[in-house]
Amino acid sequence: MRFSKSAKDDSAATIATANDPEHSTTGLPADGSPPTRPEDQWLPPKLLLLYGLQHILTMYAGAVAPALVLGAAAGVDAAGMGVLISGALLASGVATLLQSLGHRRIGAQMPIVVAASFVPVGAMTGIAGDHGLPAVFGASLAGGLFALCLTPFFGQLVRFFPPVVTGTIITVIGLSLMPVAVGWITNGHTAVVDGAETSVPTLGDLGLAAATLGCVLLFSRVLPGLLGRIAVLLGLAAGTLIALPFGKVDFGAVAEGPVFALGSPFYFGFPEFRVAAVLTMCVIMLVVLTEGASHIIAVGEITGSRVDAARISAGLRADVSASLVGPIFNATPGSSFAQNIGLLALTGVRSRYVVGTGAGLLIVLGLFPVLGRAVAAIPMPVLGGAGLVLFGSVAASGIRTLGRVDFSDNLNLILVATSLGFGLIPLAAPGFYEGFPDTIELVLHSGIVAAAVSAILLNLCFHIIGGRRPSIRR
């Protein structure tokens, strides 16, 4: 899990060796034959469960946040909020199961977690305020069908993603996630600084995040084998324990609500299809598809696995499944989660069966809301402290990919510099594009999508038109 390893060593670390007693039975599929791909590594059940739980704890807050925002905008009661959260977890579990273990035409068969996307949240809250939640779910369903028809086209984009493009996008993905970690640390606390209201952490939240970060770093450094690989999980547990005596952990909500709930299909009514809402969601799904394709390629770079057009298309179909299945269980459109890409890079555990196990845990959380409420008791600053390491790991993986690029070609330097600039504008000035037309603002407001569009277009102009190709170090 150290980034100083060579790419060859890092890839080899994916398959455990007999020298590691914690992994003496890993590295082989169930039939005992050698794995053909890093993501096909098979692990014992206890490791699948531990690593899968680590993935779920990493993404849980982000997975349920869109449901919380949407529910608040729609003015639903506590029971309705519980239905939205359970639906988000169920849809995420089904889509993640398809993505990691699904058929070759539905699912990339890679360690990718799919959950509710934040991209359409702004539009969905507007639709919910004007027409109610049935219109939101109707637009989601229609947008999902539209996106499903486009997946073969997006799969063809793989030839436009050489290392100079993928490295730039992966770096921006990591940097774009940093505000999420910072938001978890500040925990909604604001203060007026120089006449403007800004997010600042309380001393207690800052200390809790720092303690969690310190635990993750300490465990990563001193713990051997399996324990070192679950340093994030142990750090989250340690941070929660540290928070207990300070009253930062609230288990009061765990007992509120049902213990078991077998979903609540169409709880808010059958989907309604309104033209304006449907058109808006179709445009949004273009952004979701672009982001999803970038994530699939990023995971391919981290795992050292081949990603071709067919695999991207299959992965995007699994992403879109959240938009098609979700409305039945009162869930919103989903996409692959960049948070979990950082976990892959940090731990070196790249088995898709780990994520498949995590998908099963998501489904269980959706069916047993009491478990989800227990996980939700982890303080946000604890998640933020661990998030700094996770999201930084994504950016570090992108930098490692850029290390394969020959920057003696000045065009490569310009491509990376320009694309990083576009990717960081929304972070430096979140309201920068507010005066632009809605469609342009929607696309460019996502730093990941803006960087991807910039890198693809510049690579097309610099290296493909005219027959040139980007140089790669050998």
pLDDT for position 279: 86
Query: What number is the average pLDDT over the span 144-157?
Result: 89
pLDDT for position 9: 39
pLDDT for position 5: 38
Query: What number is the average pLDDT over the span 334-362?
Result: 90
Question: Regarding predicted confidence, which is higher, 143 or 24?
Answer: 143
Reduce the DSSP state of residue 389 to 3 states and report it.
helix
Percent of the chain past pLDDT 70, that is, above it, reads 90
192 Ramachandran zone, left/alpha/beta (phi>0; psi -120 to 50): beta
Q: Looking at the predicted structure, is the pLDDT value of residue 278 above 70?
A: yes
Indicate the pairing of strand 114-116 with strand 190-193: unpaired
pLDDT for position 431: 86
Q: Looking at the predicted structure, is the pLDDT value of residue 354 above 90?
A: yes
Maximum C-alpha span of the chain: 66
156 is written with which tokens? 């063809």
| Helices (runs of H) and strands (runs of E) counted in the chain | 18, 4
Which runs of consecutive H residues, i.e. helices, occur in 102-162?
A: 121-131, 133-155
Q: Looking at the predicted structure, is the pLDDT value of residue 428 above 60?
A: yes
**215 burial via Cβ count (<10 Å: 0-12, 13-18, 19+):** buried
- Confidence label for 473 from pLDDT (cuts 50, 70 and 90): low
pLDDT for position 23: 38
- Confidence label for 57 from pLDDT (cuts 50, 70 and 90): confident
Reduce the DSSP state of residue 118 to 3 states and report it.
coil
pLDDT for position 15: 32
Give 225-245 pLDDT, tens digit per residue.
Answer: 778 888 888 999 999 999 999
- Confidence label for 19 from pLDDT (cuts 50, 70 and 90): very low
Q: How many CB atoms lie within 10 A of CB 240?
A: 18
Question: Regarding predicted confidence, which is higher, 310 or 29?
Answer: 310
C-alpha distances in Å from residue 53, one per residue of 43, 121, 216? 14, 26, 16
Q: Looking at the predicted structure, is the pLDDT value of residue 263 above 70?
A: yes
Closest Cα partner for 334 from 20, 12, 63, 32? 63
Residues sharing a CB contact under 8 Å with residue 164, sequence separation 6 or more, in sequence order = 402, 405, 412, 415, 416, 455, 459, 470
| Residue-averaged pLDDT of the chain | 84
Specify whether the CB–CB gap between 416 and 365 falls below 8 A: no
Give 281-331 pLDDT, tens digit per residue.
Answer: 887 888 888 888 989 999 998 888 888 899 999 999 999 998 898 999 999
CA dist 177 and 167 (Å) reads 16
pLDDT for position 313: 93
- Confidence label for 174 from pLDDT (cuts 50, 70 and 90): confident
CA dist 417 and 413 (Å) reads 6
Give 124-137 pLDDT, tens digit per residue.
Answer: 888 888 889 999 99
Lowest mean pLDDT among 24-38, 81-95, 102-116: 24-38
350 Ramachandran zone, left/alpha/beta (phi>0; psi -120 to 50): alpha
